[in-house]
Structure 1
Amino acid sequence: MELYFLALLILIMAAALGSGYPVAFALPGAAIITIFAAAVSGWLFAGNTDAFFHSGGPQQWLSAGVTNLRGVYWEVERDTLIAIPLFIFMGITLQRSKIAEDLLVTMAQLFGPVPGGLGISVVFVGALLAATTGIVGATVVAMGLISLPAMLRNKYSPSLATGTIAASGTLGQIIPPSIVLIILADQLASAVDQASTARKALYKDTTGELTMPSAFDVVSTSAGEMFLGAFVPGLLLVLLYMIYILVYALLRPTAAPAVHYAGKFDFAFWRKVFLTLVPPLTLIFLVLGSIIAGIATVNQAGAIGAAGAMVMAGYRLGDYGRWTFVPAILSLIGLGILAFAISNFEMNLKSIDNTHDWIGIQLGILGTIILSAALIWSGWRTMRVEETLNGIMLETAKTTALVFVILLGAAMLTAAFRAFGGEDLVRDFLNSLPGGFWAKFIIVMAVIFVLGFFLDFIEIAVVVVPIVAPILLADPSANVTAVWLGVMIGLNIQTSFLTPPFGFALFYLRGVAPAVVKTIQMYKGVVAFILLQLLALFIVGLYPQMVNYLPNRVSLLSETAPPPRNPKLQYCLEEYVAEQFAANGTQLQAAHETARNIDLSFLPGDLASSFAEGVDKASNAQALLGEAQTARQAINDASPQYRVLHTKVRDLQTVMRGIDSHIAELRADVNRLPGDANAEAREKRLAEIEKLEAEKEGLQAQIPAEWDSTFKTYNDLVKAEEKALNTYRRNSDSAYGEISEVVATLKGSARFLELEDGLRTQAGRIGNEDAESLAAEIDVLADEFGEVEGASKIRSEVSKARRALEAKTPDPDKAATAMANAIDLYEEQKAWREKAGSVLPDLETYDATIRNTIGARVQDRMPRDVALFVASCSADHRDISLNF
């Protein structure tokens, strides 16, 4: 029965949207009406308000709905939504301040002499505006008002002109910073949690293991990673547009003629180009560069963008003579002072302990005051000129409210959709498709593309993505990243602005286009650009590295990079080490042999033997990794044949799990239908259960008899590889740990020898000076010994002396005994530490030789060349389905 209410939910929503009813109220309204109807019907016809719900009931749905609403505005993990009003403010400010107009006019003059140059300039400016405004309507209208008349006047084809303007105006949806990318990141963060749970359940069901290795888990995404992932695909789209226009102009010169600039390319012209281009490019650099460099979060970058747009509007909206650019110059000075202070001083007040750091704080205060003054000055100017700031704030509030109300309504609609079993229906349908992940993915992308003919990008992002994303992300056969899926959906959603009959970019352009341009010409013009978008979608799907590499690179090179021991990095890290062994194996073995011949006989026995054992283990690492690779190759050889059987069995088991789920629902229905009045309904469901159980037995019989033995054989190969890898990892980690400990100990010898005078001096002062002040100095000495590798026993004795002096009743004798023990221990080490310098260079050379291979896993962070290799390696998607 719940299926009827699911259909009613979709019908009401479609009718409301089709009638032009505001989407912000259509989504929650459809959910509320349908839930109310289902609850009342259940109470009237079954005596139970929960009767016509797929699971839970209206009470559970209401609580889930409240949780969803709370998640939109309260959960800390979803704080990236704060960036939405900041970027909207930035975009509207730049549009209202006529910076878009300046860019269009100047770029048209610059590119005009090139065939199709006017169209190329529109694409170029569209890309710049996308990276600064990201607001489709404003961009299309601005370019339509300024460029379209000029293009028509210069005999451009109306179809090419309108298609170029409409397509270029939509670039703001995929080129960061983009509102749609922020919304997609927010939706995908929730979808990843659901996908992770589903994948763990699948692993448990198929393998019988209670826990899934973390290397197989789904990777989440953030708005910053979405920005990074969309950067290259956005540039690809811009490049495709420009190439198309250039080729079109070369093939049909009369449809896109060159437009020669009537003026001169003199100093005044290039000064105008500089003043027009540099500020927007600087703002793009500050916003995107701060995210890419890891300096700022998306929210902080949004604040930077909003402030930068305010400064630019301050000098563009009015002519103040010599004072025109003063606020902008002040803001740059303030930023420069802040950057200098942050780079050269400790700016955390809690960590300041000297006068030098206070200078940094004072510089920071000065820079903040200057920057604040520049922003206030620019804001005052923006307010004065036709109350522009009031209009900007009002438009920002309207747009932000619209986005958030739609998010809230979509949360209610999604909860209702799940309450009626819609999500299970979608999942069962997609999982039943032959062809694995790619069949599901193509169907989903086709549905999103078709929905783009009728729905806005926000509606698609907040209604469709929460339903289909968990299903796609949970599939281990492609093991796609959330950022790649988000960018692919973003590219697809972008077509919704161009596809007739409800392409919003077409509506915007139609509103400002002259009557001479027919609507059918506009429709014809965008067809080529829609095909180019689909081509970009295909290219990015074929080469996921275009999306994944940049986020991986930034993550692995950042200060918060995951440690090399992270399970998700092991496959690629070992690929790097294997390549190094293959390329430099002979030199490494020679280095091991050289290390064995270093004379360490003067060292204590434990240190010398530890180093020798480390060298022996290090020399075995190459062979052990070779064994692991041989085991991996055995898996690769067996995989093609095993995959055929595995796919057949897992498909059958997927259907069987769906039958089990359906049986569980029917049994729940039986329990919810008590009494004689419902006897017929119970019998009907029991008969259906019996039929389903028979169907399940038939499917079970289709599983080949050799499946169990084949699965065990393949699983044994997997375990053999895992055992070989673990042996290699333990051996290498232990080897480098022992070697690096000896090297660190000898490197500390110079500092160790410098502490002798202090140790003897402090020992001689015990009993002759004030215990409290002496204890403080001895404490400093203990810390200094603690910083020297291998001197922990001496530090321990010195600390004992300090504690004896700090006791309520100071005990100088006990302190003197402890210091005497410390001196004895010092003498034991002094002799061999004095000889450390003779072998230390050779040891350091050996350590550096093996650090990035054998010692790669035990480093605090990956070296740059290793991180770049791992970033590239992990940018591709690796099928892990045979592990399930």
Structure 2
Amino acid sequence: MDISNGLMVVLMFITAVGLLLLGYPVAFTLAGTALGFAFLGDLLGIFDLSILTAFPQRIFTIMSSEVLVAVPLFVFMGVMLERSKVAEELLDNMGRAFGSFSGGLAYSVTVVGALLAASTGIVGATVVTMGLLSLPTMIRRNYNIPFACGTICASGTLGQIIPPSIVLVLLGDQLSIAFQNAQFKMGNFAPDTVSVNDLFAGALLPGLMLVGMYLVYQFFFSLTKPDEAPPVPRDELGIQNRREFLLMLLRTLFAPLILIVAVLGSILAGLASPTEAAAVGAVGAIMLAGYKIAPDKARWILAAGAAFFALFIITLFFDLRMQRDVIPLSDKIAIAVALALSVIVVIGIAIAIWRTIQAKDEDGTSVLASVGRSTVQISSMVFVILVGAGMFSLVFRGFEGDIYIEEFLQNLPGGTIAALTLVMGVMFIMGFFLDFLEIIFIVVPIVAPILLMMEVAPGETMSPVWLGVMMGINLQTSFLTPPFGFALFYLRGVAPPQVTTAHIYKGVIPFVIIQVLALIILWFWPDVATWLPSVLYEK
């Protein structure tokens, strides 16, 4: 490779990262840096500007991707659940359920963090919500402050690895493209596809493993230091009647669990794509919000939920296609019942939408309008960054940067292990300064095709699902690690005055160690990530 090409690649990457650290908008930094170096390369005679003619096609491919439609739908679902106060109710009731145990409030934060991760997947909102609601309570109950801070930060970041997660949707889309490119370069022009479904299935067990490891650490902490994680006296829990409390707890858990099962279950079972499941989740979040606004006047919404479940059951046993020459009587009856149930669903959804329009947010605007505005802002940010990253990767490849990186990684002493360790280390450090969006769109398209061509055993290349899960947990660990982890800043912004930055840093260190231990477990036992996809999809 011409040395000037290698120099341009390095300068372009350093310039982009430097401008990002200075606070310039991500999308325009990526696209502007790429265009600037493209024109400079043309002046120097080492870059062909005709390469840029492929950029419109890249934008069209991005905008026509069915998988990426899931992003705004999952964002809408998460924001709507956040505004409907699901987290507050879950934390309150879980705290009362576990509060009588030593360390019970920490257990409740972790369980609620996992539930919110599986239903919203919005990390910042989860950390802030639990920091506002749980941290003052834990401090008032004489919990060790670093322990409480670490629990909230770690539990709040579970939304990055437990599906359905926006991180996994975007990472799965990029890995799918990278895997195809890797297979084409290896001469396989009919490769197996790797979908977001595969990555969701692969991340489920590692995510639950992390939850279990958090709980084990909290158990031993409360066992060895009971005075720093004391139980709440039973007479202060407000449980007058245990049977009534259990019923209330079931009511609190019922709707989020049904939503999780409907969304994640339909994806893992292969009944729906992530986009279709995200649409179900968005509608379910609206119905849940409508129910929360006026639970005493929610007969139609409850009926719609029951009708929706009945429709799901009917589709399992009957063929509801109407465009057939011959339709058996049993199917005709099932179709008629399905149409009647659909009417009930539509009425329930309409009532829920009307209630979210009528209800007012804290600033006086309609809840639905506020949620819609937040969804558009977050989704626009994601897609504009994706377009800018498309320009960056196009120019990067125009300078033969992919060849440069491939030669560098393949010639590292230590082979595949050294290459993967270096990539994970770079992503970990970048996670201190950049959001997951920039890392996924800048680093993954460049390095993933190279890694996926490298052998982990004689004749065996790296699993894209395993690589995606490793990257996801690595980014989650980076967001937890002092001094620059994003989750630490989220909590610092809402923590009470007596909580110092040192408390937060000290509290997350045991959880960072747990994260690293999880990565080591995945490194030596990749089946933790690859077993479930192989069982569900026979891959």
| TM-score normalised to structure 1 length | 0.58
Counterparts of 2:509 and 2:413, CA distance in 1? 31
Deviation at 1:519, TM superposition (A): 1.0
Q: 1:52 aligns with which of 42, 46, 49?
A: 46
Matched residue, 1:270: 246
Q: Does 1:192 align with 2:195?
A: no
Q: Does 1:427 align with 2:418?
A: no
Q: Secondary structure at the match of 1:118?
A: helix
Matches for 1:467-546 after TM superposition, within 5 Å: 467-478=446-457, 479-546=461-528
Deviation at 1:500, TM superposition (A): 3.2
Matched residue, 1:440: 419
Counterparts of 2:166 and 2:182, CA distance in 1? 24
Counterparts of 1:122 and 1:14, CA distance in 2? 35
Counterparts of 2:375 and 2:521, CA distance in 1? 35
1:267-309 deviations in whole A, cap 9, x for unaligned?
2211221111111111111111111222111111111111111
Q: Does 1:376 align with 2:350?
A: yes
Deviation at 1:355, TM superposition (A): 5.7
Matched residue, 1:641: none
Matches for 1:158-237 after TM superposition, within 5 Å: 158-200=145-187, 219-237=192-210
Q: Does 1:73 align with 2:63?
A: yes
Deviation at 1:196, TM superposition (A): 0.6
Counterparts of 2:387 and 2:143, CA distance in 1? 45
Counterparts of 1:182 and 1:63, CA distance in 2? 28
Matched residue, 1:25: 28
Matches for 1:641-720 after TM superposition, within 5 Å: none
Q: 1:454 aligns with which of 429, 433, 440?
A: 433
Alignment size in residue pairs: 524
Contact 2:6–2:404 (Cα < 8 Å) also in 1: no
Matched residue, 1:310: 286
Matched residue, 2:53: 63
Q: Which residue type is aligned with residue 265 of structure 2?
A: G
Q: Which residue type is aligned with residue 194 of structure 2?
A: T
Q: Which residue type is aligned with residue 377 of structure 1?
A: I
Q: Does 1:348 align with 2:339?
A: no
Q: Which deviates the most, 260-269 or 29-38?
A: 260-269
Deviation at 1:456, TM superposition (A): 1.0
Deviation at 1:218, TM superposition (A): 5.8
Structure 1 unaligned residues grouped into runs of 5+: 43-50, 201-211, 557-870, 872-884
Matched residue, 2:370: 391
Q: Does 1:404 align with 2:375?
A: no
Contact 1:163–1:522 (Cα < 8 Å) also in 2: yes
Deviation at 1:154, TM superposition (A): 0.9
Counterparts of 2:252 and 2:59, CA distance in 1? 43
Counterparts of 2:173 and 2:281, CA distance in 1? 20
Q: Which residue type is aligned with residue 59 of structure 1?
A: S
Q: Which residue type is aligned with residue 358 of structure 1?
A: K
Q: Does 1:111 align with 2:98?
A: yes
Q: Does 1:367 align with 2:347?
A: no
Contact 2:171–2:468 (Cα < 8 Å) also in 1: yes
Counterparts of 2:412 and 2:404, CA distance in 1? 13
Deviation at 1:499, TM superposition (A): 2.4
Contact 1:170–1:505 (Cα < 8 Å) also in 2: yes
Q: Which has the higher contact order (CA 8 A, sep 6+)?
A: 2
With over 3 angstroms needed to count, the CA separation of the structure-2 counterparts of 1:545 and 1:4, relative to structure 1, is closer
Counterparts of 1:337 and 1:199, CA distance in 2? 48
Counterparts of 1:226 and 1:133, CA distance in 2? 17
Matched residue, 2:276: 300
Deviation at 1:144, TM superposition (A): 0.5
1:119-146 deviations in whole A, cap 9, x for unaligned?
1110110000000000011111110010
Counterparts of 2:501 and 2:28, CA distance in 1? 31
Contact 2:153–2:488 (Cα < 8 Å) also in 1: yes
Counterparts of 1:454 and 1:519, CA distance in 2? 18
Structure 2 unaligned residues grouped into runs of 5+: 361-365
Deviation at 1:81, TM superposition (A): 0.6
Matched residue, 1:287: 263
With over 3 angstroms needed to count, the CA separation of the structure-2 counterparts of 1:337 and 1:318, relative to structure 1, is closer
Deviation at 1:251, TM superposition (A): 1.6
Contact 1:311–1:378 (Cα < 8 Å) also in 2: yes
Contact 1:89–1:393 (Cα < 8 Å) also in 2: yes
Counterparts of 1:238 and 1:484, CA distance in 2? 19
Counterparts of 2:456 and 2:510, CA distance in 1? 34
Counterparts of 2:309 and 2:497, CA distance in 1? 51
Contact 2:300–2:344 (Cα < 8 Å) also in 1: no
Q: Rg larger in 1 or in 2?
A: 1
Contact 1:122–1:168 (Cα < 8 Å) also in 2: yes
Q: Secondary structure at the match of 2:24?
A: coil
Q: Which residue type is aligned with residue 361 of structure 1?
A: I
Contact 2:173–2:195 (Cα < 8 Å) also in 1: yes
Contact 1:176–1:231 (Cα < 8 Å) also in 2: yes
Between the two proteins, what is the percent identity of the paired residues?
Answer: 43
Counterparts of 1:336 and 1:271, CA distance in 2? 21
Contact 1:457–1:494 (Cα < 8 Å) also in 2: no
Counterparts of 1:531 and 1:24, CA distance in 2? 33
Counterparts of 1:240 and 1:303, CA distance in 2? 32
Q: Secondary structure at the match of 2:179?
A: helix
Q: Does 1:144 align with 2:131?
A: yes
Matched residue, 1:332: 305
Matches for 1:509-588 after TM superposition, within 5 Å: 509-556=491-538
Counterparts of 2:429 and 2:464, CA distance in 1? 22
Contact 1:89–1:396 (Cα < 8 Å) also in 2: yes
Q: Which residue type is aligned with residue 499 of structure 2?
A: V
Counterparts of 1:355 and 1:428, CA distance in 2? 63
| RMSD (CA atoms) | 1.7
Matched residue, 1:154: 141
Deviation at 1:352, TM superposition (A): 4.8
Q: Which residue type is aligned with residue 63 of structure 1?
A: T
Counterparts of 1:329 and 1:499, CA distance in 2? 43
Matched residue, 1:415: 394
Contact 1:219–1:482 (Cα < 8 Å) also in 2: no
Counterparts of 1:260 and 1:63, CA distance in 2? 69
With over 3 angstroms needed to count, the CA separation of the structure-2 counterparts of 1:251 and 1:218, relative to structure 1, is farther
Contact 1:454–1:501 (Cα < 8 Å) also in 2: no
Counterparts of 1:518 and 1:337, CA distance in 2? 52
Counterparts of 1:477 and 1:287, CA distance in 2? 34
With over 3 angstroms needed to count, the CA separation of the structure-2 counterparts of 1:437 and 1:4, relative to structure 1, is closer
Q: Secondary structure at the match of 1:254?
A: helix
Deviation at 1:340, TM superposition (A): 4.5
Deviation at 1:219, TM superposition (A): 4.3
Counterparts of 1:19 and 1:491, CA distance in 2? 27
1:338-381 deviations in whole A, cap 9, x for unaligned?
23532343211222514613322222211211111111111111
Counterparts of 2:288 and 2:466, CA distance in 1? 34
Contact 2:431–2:478 (Cα < 8 Å) also in 1: yes
Deviation at 1:493, TM superposition (A): 1.1
Matched residue, 2:363: none
